[in-house]
């Protein structure tokens, strides 16, 4: 079972990615991650590391805290 913070992160990541008009594959490429990893993060299946949270935030050009706010 995923934590509430993980669910919030997953939801916000997907929302912001879609607002930017990026596919999971495009976001993964910009962030230097694998596309299946990004998909699993968006589904709340991964306990994403702080380092990867930062990579995703930078790729989306947002502050990391934007991905943790409901």
- Per residue in 36-66, pLDDT (tens digit) is 999 999 999 999 999 999 999 999 999 999 9
For the chain, domains (ranges, CATH) are 4-67 (1.10.260.40)
pLDDT of 1 above 60: no
Residue 70: which pLDDT band, with cuts at 50, 70 and 90?
Answer: confident
- Catalogue the long-range contacts made by 2-9 (C-beta closer than 8 Å, 24 or more residues apart): 2/44, 2/45, 5/68, 6/44, 6/46, 6/47, 6/48, 7/44, 8/68, 8/69, 8/70, 9/41, 9/44, 9/48, 9/53, 9/67, 9/68
Look up the pTM and report it: 0.92
State what percent of residues in the chain have pLDDT above 90: 94
């Amino acid at each position: 079972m995923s934590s509430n913070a993980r669910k919030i992160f997953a939801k916000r990541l997907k929302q912001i990615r879609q607002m930017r008009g990026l596919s999971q594959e495009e976001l993964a490429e910009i962030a230097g991650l694998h596309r299946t990893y990004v998909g699993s993060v968006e589904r709340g299946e991964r306990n994403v590391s702080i380092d990867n949270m930062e990579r995703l935030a930078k790729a989306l050009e947002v502050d990391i805290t934007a991905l943790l706010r409901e």
